[in-house]
Amino acid sequence: MAYQALYRVWRSQRFDDLVGQEAITKTLKNAIQQQKTSHAYLFTGPRGTGKTSAAKIFAKAINCPNSIDGEPCNECEMCRSITEGRQEDVIEIDAASNNGVEEIRFIRDRANYAPTAAKYKVYIIDEVHMLSTGAFNALLKTLEEPKEHVIFVLATTEPHKIPATIISRTQRFDFKRIDVQAIIGRMAYILEQSNQPYEEQALSVIARAAEGGMRDALSILDQAISFSNETITLEDALAVTGSLTTEMMDGFIGACLQQDVSGALEVLENILAEGKEARRLTEDLLLYCRDLLIYQQAPKLLENRAAYLTDTFKQLAEATVSERLYNMIKILSETQNEIRFTNHANVYLEVATVKLATPQTAPAVSASQPVNSTPAAVSQPADQAELTALKTQLQQLQNEMQQLKANPTVEKEERKAAPKKTASSYRVPTERVYQVLSEATKDHLLNVKNVWEDLLMALPVTQRAMLKASEPMAAGPGLLLIAFDYEIVCQRADSSDELRLNMQNTLSMMIKDYTPDFVFITRESWPRLRQAFVSQHHDRPVATETNETDDEISLIPEETNEVVEQAKSLFGDLVTIKDD
């Protein structure tokens, strides 16, 4: 039998199996028992917290003839058909891949018919925030005229993207991140059932890395199993999660506490160079500092995590006053907030590092500590010259950060998008691109985008594959501009008359009388082409010859709002004036 992922095998089949969401499951069970279910539910919460599992259990429980206490029996034909996804009255839709209006209209039409086998038709729409505006409107109409035998369960990780009109017509349940202990408990149970030996610390590392998502935890656990020899060890877990090894943490926090800024920055650089993700790193550092505090107060609490308790860790805990640790935790959690929505996490981390290593007020070492019991460097106050140097360094970093804030358009992506020096074999049809741009309208593009997924699905597999890594960029009445991620695919598409024909035929069916001709370009040429077009069609110089690549894009929002407006009317929201 083919290997099945743990999270599939161990997917919760009853409300009581759903870890960490007791308040929600209890409410749902009661509603089912008392036959007071609503016709629309909204399940929100981070990924992997049980939203779709709960939706499926719900669909089973309300349709199961043997339901007891609001739980499905999971034995009868109805339950089994739903579990296996072959019950035609329980329809699962992934809005991430079907964001079309047609899809929802279809649901709306079908919802008028009574269920064939089940008591209730249940529509589970996952990632519902991905629906297009048109689809939301169609869905709203459906929710406004509730049918006795139809229940909608909408699930989303991003409730703020859902129109209030929809939310107000649903009963909303917010799924919480699952706490670390509950995740550890579930993993331990699964491993014991599977006779798989493990070290407890490994589970703790995995549970933390999963950030409250059971599905993520089980995926990581899966990897750890395939990585391990017999027993899943702490080292396996660390390797799989990309968590910092204890040594690196010791090195970084140690350097900070020793006020060794350049040392700390160096460790940071090494850590980031190893591909550690800045958010995860900040989290790990926070936990490390918290553990130092806990160790100071109640070392016993950390006994089960012996692997973290290196000699360095113990020394640092003993030698550092708790005020200093509180201060570090404060800096780290501020950083955590700052980097949540930025593309420049590393800069923030560098600034944080300088702050961590230069305490403003509290001395690094508690006065009651005899100096000779501490690592030598910890007790050395930074001398004046060093302090001045650090302040300059901090100032520089802060300036850099201000610039990034003031000018968020200078994006790595756009740097990447600058034309590469490599010999290019695909000749971008510049004049044709300008032609598209001069006739392009936002409506045409939106129409195309709305049917894009459906268009792909309607094409033969090989042609679909070609278009998978492509995106419509601009559209007018007679022309459609498509950008490809890979030059080689772009070239193949360009030379395929069959593809053009198929796309044209399909599009004309999906959008009334729309039979555009296609212009294919590579994605990396797009910013340059767009820029060149916009500047050609306005008298104001946007990009000069001297700054032709990286800077040209950033000049749009900075200098010429009028051009931005013009671009916006052409491309709608697709104009990247990024602000994150």
Chain contacts with Zn ion (rule: CB under 5 A): 64, 66, 72-73, 76, 79
Q: Which is nearer to Zn ion, 72 or 254 (CB)?
A: 72
CB of 238 to Zn ion, least distance (A): 43
Q: Which is nearer to Zn ion, 72 or 472 (CB)?
A: 72
C-alpha–C-alpha distance, residues 523 and 530, integer Å: 11
> Among the residues of 410-496, which ranges form H helices?
412-417, 430-439, 442-458, 461-468, 487-494
Q: Which is nearer to Zn ion, 79 or 264 (CB)?
A: 79
Q: Which is nearer to Zn ion, 14 or 39 (CB)?
A: 14
State which amino acid sits at residue 237: A
CB of 73 to Zn ion, least distance (A): 4
C-alpha–C-alpha distance, residues 38 and 41, integer Å: 7
CB of 90 to Zn ion, least distance (A): 13
CB of 13 to Zn ion, least distance (A): 10
Smallest Cα–Cα separation from 119: which of 200, 59, 186?
A: 59
Region of 127 (left: φ > 0; alpha: ψ -120 to 50; beta: rest) is: left
State which amino acid sits at residue 381: P
CB of 131 to Zn ion, least distance (A): 31
Q: Which is nearer to Zn ion, 63 or 132 (CB)?
A: 63
What is the token pair recorded at 369? 């500590």
Q: Is 343 helix (H, G, I), strand (E, B) or coil?
A: coil
CB of 38 to Zn ion, least distance (A): 22
* DSSP assignment letter at 175: P
CB of 33 to Zn ion, least distance (A): 15
CB of 120 to Zn ion, least distance (A): 14
Q: Which is nearer to Zn ion, 77 or 145 (CB)?
A: 77
Contact indicator for 166, 152 with CB cutoff of 8 Å: no
Beta-sheet pairing, 150-156 with 40-44: parallel
Contact indicator for 348, 334 with CB cutoff of 8 Å: no
Q: Which is nearer to Zn ion, 74 or 310 (CB)?
A: 74
CB of 44 to Zn ion, least distance (A): 28
Cβ of 562: how many Cβ atoms within 10 Å?
Answer: 10
Contact indicator for 527, 533 with CB cutoff of 8 Å: no
Contact indicator for 204, 180 with CB cutoff of 8 Å: yes
Q: Which is nearer to Zn ion, 72 or 100 (CB)?
A: 72
Q: Which residue has the tokens 């297009």?
A: 132
Q: Which is nearer to Zn ion, 78 or 378 (CB)?
A: 78
Smallest Cα–Cα separation from 98: which of 387, 453, 410, 540?
A: 453
